[in-house]
Structure 1
Amino acid sequence: MDLTSLIYLTGASGFFTSRAFIPAFFTAVFLRYGEHFPWIGTMEFVQTTGAEPTWFTNNYTILALGVLSILEVGATKIPEAQEALDGVHKYAKTGLSALAAMGVLGSRDIAFAEGMISQAGVFEMVVSAVVGGAVFFFSTIRSGVMDLLAMSDPDDDLGIRGLISWFEDLWSSFGIFLLILYPFVILTVLAVVLGLLFAMRKWAEYKEEKSRIPCTSCGELVYACAVECPKCHTAVENPKDIGFFSQTVDRPAQPGKEQELRLVSKRRCAKCATRIEKRRLPQSCPVCEHSILSDRADQELYTAKVRNRLPKVLGVTFLLSLVPILGIIPGIIYYRIQLIAPFRAYIPASRGFVLRWVVRILFLLLISLQLIPGLGGFMVPIMALISYALYSGYFNKTLREGSSPA
């Protein structure tokens, strides 16, 4: 293995952190057909990579990777599918990166024949393992950041995860070719991006831990936004409020049950403020074992709290809907955050997926009617009412059924 291959594999590991199949697909295409691309076709590295197709640059392998890449792009645009992928995605990225590393090393070997394992030397196997390990490490960091966004905004109403997803698609696709043309520049960019992800995750963990305060009774560290200690259940004096991204903010909490309901709406335990990862009801807090919304009175208060927002939401969305085209996006984001997110946070992903697409198809007609003068002002409020009715109905059904599979 030469220095050029080592540089390429080091840089490519950064692209596998974002996607599993896209970098593998473009790497295989580059190895097989790179000499036909402008600018890079005359490079020595390209001309020595695969006059003879290998297992990795075989047309069937490229076709399979291409199909899987398209499916991967589609899946990452749907929050429910993305959540399902996150559990196994980093393992797929790790495996694909190691296989791609073997493919690069194998295509650089003139004597390469059948059987990748028997042909690859010990050093090549070590390099592949190192590349896979690096991808697993950085994928874990990325998952931590994306999990924080997913718990704060499960429906991606703000579009932050969608924007990141499109950027990662472009980055994984075209970054591979930039790596060939400007290897050291791309390596620097990768180092900066991965460093920022690492710093963001550590900063979030630091802020979360720094928000803890000692319990006045037993000394146990408790989140400042919690209502009581998870160990001795002593009430927290003057708890702090919780922000949009479910982080502790430096302002007084809302009084009484309001704080507990606000914690629940942000997918945190109503008592100790521990983050709740599962999307189902009923369920117990993994730390203090408090049962989330198990009490009928709490359920009624929670649904009433959301229902009381309807008049304000309908008024705001009516005013926004009067602005053709431009008023739709902020109007939809506003009513989803206010009316839908508190319910959807506890609707199982399987139901949420079906419900989301039913709502999307229904709203295609309503959005087209928004262009009609006078009538357009009622479109977003109608969308808000329909969404509220459907999601609140599913939420109440989940409560009635008791435990549902996540």
Structure 2
Amino acid sequence: MSVVQIVTIIGSIPLFSLRTFLPAFLTTLLLSYPEYFPGLENVPPIPEEAFISRDWVLITLGALSLLEIIGDKSTEIRNLLKNAETYLKPIFFLAINLSLLDETSVEVLQEVQWAAFDPLWILLAFGSLLVHWLATVRKDFLDFLEDIDEDDNLFIGRITSWIEDSLVVFGFLLLIWTGILMVILYTVAIAFFLFMRKRHDRKIEEQMLVCPNCGAKNLPFAVKCVNCKELQPKIYAIGIFGQKKEKLVSNIQKHQLNLISHRKCTDCGNKLESNRLFQNCHFCGNAHFQSPTVKEFIKNQDKKFYKIAGLSFLLGFVPVIGFLTSAVLANIYLFSPYRRYIPKGSSFLTKLFIKFLTFLFFLLGIALGFIAAPAYIVLRYTIWKKKFTSRAGKPADSPARNNEV
């Protein structure tokens, strides 16, 4: 086992933890057509009879990479695949790295006994486990970003996806030219990310407030204790991204309506597991939408709608920027609170239709924003409100059905 093989295997670990097919496609492309890569024009390609160099393998991996890049920009597709990716990525990592073994190593591996613990197998097994672990860390990070911007209103998910694509391509080229430097850089980057994650977890822990009645720890925007259900003396307001604001709550019902908008329990403030309207919090057992009710929540959303629709008319007189500002405000304060209670699969076609309308309204908003912005908000608000109210009347979302479960 050569130093080059060791560096290649270790260096490909972070690449496969970010993407499943793109690193595999780039590796296959390099081995089949090294002349396409700067500085490798004189490197001979691998033999045509090698499995990894076959045209159909290259075409298949290229198509899958393209679908992966496009699909990762969609919140629905990303959420659908992120659980499976933690297992697919180590499998592809192992398959591609086994294909990189030279003929001598292959002959040795064909005859080696498992009890001999060949170092290469140990390295590949360690690498596969590390890819799985890093992919799981990435999934947790994406879940954290989704809590901040669940519907990608601020394009956080899309920007993150493009950054990951760039890191894979950049990391692959760096691995070819200076493999050891790439390993060092990505090791430092992963260590920094884990440090920031622990720092965030520590900050959340520090924000927890102790219940004076029973001593249990509660979120800073909890109305009642998660353990003894006692009303908390200090209740902090919740921000638009679900963060703690340095402001104490004066109107509890208004605060609870804000918690509902974030799909959080109106008592303990924890995130609700399901997108069903009527459910019991898995932390404190509180019945969701018992108080405030669905009607009170819709009435509160309607008040926001009138304010933002009026504001959008004024903002519409500012070309482009006015329309975009209105769209972002409406997404955060009007549409997302409804969308969080609608299954992502059932709203996929609706979102495609809305994206088409958004494009048309955006074109109109370049010159006639004072018309396009309010019309855009009225149309989208009507669509999401109708889908939300239809779920409120479904048997699966009724309080009676919830109590049976």
Using the size of structure 2 for normalisation, the TM-score is 0.90
Instruction: Pick the aligned partner of 1:219 from 215, 219, 243.
Output: 215
**What pairs with 1:69-148 in structure 2 (closer than 5 Å)?**
69-104=65-100, 106=101, 108-110=102-104, 112=106, 118=110, 122-148=118-144
Give 1:299 deviation, angstroms: 1.0
Take 1:208 and 1:291, find their aligned partners in 2: how far apart are those partners?
25
Q: Where does residue 249 of structure 2 map in the other structure? A: 253
Give 1:345 deviation, angstroms: 1.0
Return 5+ residue gaps in structure 2 as ranges.
Answer: 398-405
Q: Where does residue 333 of structure 2 map in the other structure? A: 338
Judged with a 3 Å threshold, the aligned counterparts in structure 2 of structure 1 residues 184 and 319 are, in CA distance, closer, same or farther, namely: farther
Identity of aligned residues (%): 25
Asked if 1:41 corresponds to 2:41, the answer is yes
Take 1:59 and 1:323, find their aligned partners in 2: how far apart are those partners?
53
**What pairs with 1:11-22 in structure 2 (closer than 5 Å)?**
11-22=11-22
The amino acid across from 1:280 in the alignment is R
Instruction: Pick the aligned partner of 1:381 from 364, 374, 385.
Output: 374
Q: Deviations over 1:74-108 (max 9, x none)?
A: 2111111111122222221222122222222x3x3
Q: Where does residue 5 of structure 1 map in the other structure? A: 5
The amino acid across from 1:251 in the alignment is K
Q: Where does residue 199 of structure 1 map in the other structure? A: 195
The amino acid across from 1:3 in the alignment is V
Q: Deviations over 1:374-393 (max 9, x none)?
A: x3321021111111100011
Asked if 1:179 corresponds to 2:179, the answer is no
Q: Where does residue 396 of structure 1 map in the other structure? A: 389
Instruction: Pick the aligned partner of 2:356 from 344, 358, 361.
Output: 361
Take 2:280 and 2:10, find their aligned partners in 1: how far apart are those partners?
44
Using the size of structure 1 for normalisation, the TM-score is 0.89
Task: Check conservation: 1:80, 1:352, Cα contact below 8 A.
Answer: no
Return 5+ residue gaps in structure 1 as ranges.
Answer: none
Q: Where does residue 235 of structure 1 map in the other structure? A: 231
Take 1:293 and 1:267, find their aligned partners in 2: how far apart are those partners?
10
Give 1:368 deviation, angstroms: 2.2
Q: Where does residue 25 of structure 1 map in the other structure? A: 25
Give 1:400 deviation, angstroms: 1.1
Q: Where does residue 371 of structure 1 map in the other structure? A: 366
Q: Where does residue 285 of structure 1 map in the other structure? A: 281
Judged with a 3 Å threshold, the aligned counterparts in structure 2 of structure 1 residues 202 and 277 are, in CA distance, closer, same or farther, namely: farther
Root-mean-square deviation over aligned CA pairs: 2.3
Task: Check conservation: 1:99, 1:128, Cα contact below 8 A.
Answer: no
Task: Check conservation: 2:48, 2:54, Cα contact below 8 A.
Answer: no
Q: Where does residue 313 of structure 2 map in the other structure? A: 318
The amino acid across from 1:383 in the alignment is Y
Q: Deviations over 1:307-363 (max 9, x none)?
A: 111232123322333233333332211110111111111111112212111111223
Take 2:83 and 2:329, find their aligned partners in 1: how far apart are those partners?
30
Take 1:278 and 1:215, find their aligned partners in 2: how far apart are those partners?
27
Aligned partner of residue 241 in structure 1, secondary structure: strand
58-67 or 116-125: which moved more? 116-125
Task: Check conservation: 1:211, 1:224, Cα contact below 8 A.
Answer: yes
241-250 or 21-30: which moved more? 241-250
Q: Deviations over 1:133-178 (max 9, x none)?
A: 1112222222222111112211101111111111211222342122
What is the total number of aligned residue pairs between the two structures? 393
Take 1:31 and 1:119, find their aligned partners in 2: how far apart are those partners?
26
Q: Where does residue 401 of structure 2 map in the other structure? A: none
Aligned partner of residue 403 in structure 1, secondary structure: helix
91-100 or 55-64: which moved more? 55-64
Question: After the TM superposition, which segments of 4 or more aligned residues of structure 1 sit over 4 Å from their partners?
Answer: 110-113, 116-121
Instruction: Pick the aligned partner of 2:268 from 266, 272, 276.
Output: 272
Take 2:60 and 2:230, find their aligned partners in 1: how far apart are those partners?
58
Judged with a 3 Å threshold, the aligned counterparts in structure 2 of structure 1 residues 55 and 291 are, in CA distance, closer, same or farther, namely: farther
Give 1:189 deviation, angstroms: 2.5
Q: Where does residue 402 of structure 2 map in the other structure? A: none
Q: Deviations over 1:278-303 (max 9, x none)?
A: 333223211112222255x5211211
